[in-house]
Chains A and B, each alone.
Chain A
Amino acid sequence: MKTLRGIAASGGLAIGPAFHFQKAGLCCERTTVQDPTAEWARFQAALATAGEELAQVCALAETQCQPEEAAIFQAHLLILDDPDLLDQVQFRIAEQHLNAAAALNEAAGVYIQTLEAMDNEYLRARAADVRDVTDRVLRILLGVAESPTAGLTTPAVIIASDLTPSDTVLLDKSLVVGFCTAEGGATSHTAILARGWGLPAVVGIGPQVLEIPAGAPVIVDGDEGAVLVEPEAGVIARYRARQARADVALAQAREHAHEPAITRDGHRVEVVANVGNVAGAVAAREAGAEGIGLLRTEFLYLERATLPDEEEQYQAYRAILEVFGTQPVVLRTLDIGGDKDLPYLDLPRELNPFLGLRAIRLGLARPELLKPQLHAALRAGVGHNLKVMFPMVATVAEVRAARALLDECRAELLAQGQPVAEIEVGIMVEIPAAAIMAHRLAAEVDFFSIGTNDLSQYTLAADRTNAQVAALASAFQPAVLHLVRDVITAAHARGRWVGLCGELAGEPLAVPILLGLGLDEFSMNPPAIPRVKQIIRALTLDQAREVAQAALELDSPEAIQALVRERVPAAGVA
């Protein structure tokens, strides 16, 4: 047995025969042509064909991949249409009478070399994009058929130098169990797509990986970044057992994803999703969400030139509410300003945007921004279970002002004879001031939703986008968990329910603690839902309370995570 090490790019285990993904060599001879005009026309025809192919790959990617992955192919279309690159090709054909394939290969080669020499890892990885686009056009020019997967008929581990996005999207997912590549880093396309597909991948292994004999048994350990070549029977058996345990756990979690999250002693909590648009709502429902705990409304405002009017907002909210019927949907009013600017609002630049005029502060300062949204929400909620919450609340006065505005909107609609929904009103608790004053704020609202991402960075005074201090802003910090406990206690004393919509709610290791603290609603990104429900079902409320109690006695995020790992094996790595 031989063990190769690389970068753990996508977690999980795979066992299967090695399959070498080899592309037909694009041997591109350099010749001179008699008729440069005809050669340029031939090149343009190839570009057009490549554009059509790419548009198809784009459409495929949009249905199969995450939006960020589909964006890769949009970027490819831009490269295909790059005026500088095309000028370089045209110059070589027209002035040097070079054949189109060589002209393109040389012109693109300059950019590939420049990108490969850059300091930034992201830009170095983009060299592969230019190569991918160039190869696509070369293939068409040279008439090479594309079938690097000919012979892939049974599930296998794909071995390659590096995979381009086009390669990965054209692979038949049912025939791939994992990926090993010689090149690439954690942000390479192979890594991104493997994570999107939920398949293990080890990348950046080095050229030795290409020497694995075709068909040889291979174990890909995407958790440890190891590839075991031709392992002994005992090793295979050990990995198979580990894989089986993980598979069973995940399959069980998925199988029961649509069932409620009830502890072994019968305590039920809501597991809902964070959603940003209609497609997200559909995905959330399919993943087992029992509603939406955080509907971000910024999607309606971004990447456009004017404010969306009331009718447009009404239609958009209605479409999302219909996905969930009468299940709860919590709409967060516009969380913009500060670092999230909208050009058409003409907001002044701020020195300290995270502490500036944002979210509800902006909405109260400029009610003409907030009112159409409240009108639209009140109308859209009719016949559904809509709730509204205000972000970034710090004081009781802000809640009262926001509620007064909502009442004003309701009165205006009623005066027009419009049907208006009865809705619960809540606030995000994400500023320490609000957490500390939760006992007073609870008198003003129907519910709280704790935003642990902002709450952590404000409590620890550490910017989570600054890599040097981001670790300090962990939501597992004792200070954050103590605030979460205080907020829940204060709300329950008043008979209010409490949700949590930060990333913490979807963290397996946080679930026992939050459950034990009495959290009523867990809102998270949809893929996290099956695991979280499964962990809740494995516990009794008393067990969770004991874990939470013990966690609050500890002094560091690491100690707290270690405690949960030890006490609740189901929450540890599957």
Chain B
Amino acid sequence: MPETTLTIQHKVGLHARPAALFVQTAKQFRSNIRVAHGERAANAKSILGVLTLGAEQGAVIHLCAEGDDAEQALAALTDLIHSNFGGVE
């Protein structure tokens, strides 16, 4: 099962528009995707789950995916985070 660890650089953290983009990206894939921050974990396709992770700027998050497009899903989410959410405010 592919997994990866990433740091949120965006100044608002994994909230607001970055969180929306994250969830929208996750929803493009069939795989189950889990995102964990500290002791909390959530379904990456759930905006409420992602928000309540409380991942602020500098937070280290852990992603894992299971399914036939798991690799692609993690690659897309990794790109999104590396691109600092495409520069959205």
Contacts and interface: CB of A to CB of B under 8 A. Distances in A.
A31 interface: no
Contacts of A79: 47-48
Nearest to A72: B16
Contacts, number: 73
A75 B43 contact: no
Interface string B3-35: 000000001110111001001100000000000
Interface in A300-351: 302-304, 339-343, 349
A354 interface: no
Contact of A126 (B23, B43, B46, B51): B51
Contacts of A303: 86-88
A74 B17 CA distance: 10
A371 B48 CA distance: 44
Contacts of B84: 339-341
A352 interface: no
Contact of A84 (B20, B48, B56): B48
A18 to B, nearest CB: 33
A197 interface: no
Contacts of B54: 118-120, 123
A465 B10 CA distance: 11
Given A84-B48, A343-B82, A78 B23 contact: yes
Contacts of A119: 54
B89 to A, nearest CB: 7
A52 to B, nearest CB: 20
B36 interface: no
A342 B83 contact: yes
Contacts of A298: 87
B52 interface: yes
A341 B84 CA distance: 7
Interface string A67-87: 010010011001100111100
B20 A74 contact: yes
Nearest to A112: B48
A24 B24 CA distance: 34
A343 B83 CA distance: 5
Interface in B30-89: 42-43, 45-49, 51-52, 54, 56, 79-80, 82-84, 86-89
Contacts of B24: 78
Contacts of B88: 302-303
B10 to A, nearest CB: 10
Interface string A97-132: 000000000000001001100111011001000100
Contacts of B45: 83
A341 B83 CA distance: 5
Interface in A259-304: 298, 302-304
A75 B18 CA distance: 11
B87 A340 contact: yes
Given A123-B51, A302-B86, A340-B84, A84 B43 contact: yes
B48 A85 contact: yes
B89 A68 contact: yes
A122 B43 contact: no
A344 B23 CA distance: 20
A304 B88 CA distance: 12
A111 B54 CA distance: 13
Given A78-B47, A83-B45, A122-B16, A111 B52 contact: yes
A465 B11 contact: yes
Contacts of B51: 115, 123, 126
11 contacts: A78-B20, A78-B24, A79-B47, A83-B45, A84-B43, A85-B46, A120-B56, A302-B87, A303-B86, A303-B87, A349-B82
Given A302-B86, A343-B79, 6 more contacts: A71-B20, A75-B47, A120-B56, A302-B88, A341-B87, A343-B82
Ranked 6 nearest A-B pairs via Cβ:
A84-B46, A343-B83, A78-B47, A343-B79, A303-B86, A111-B48
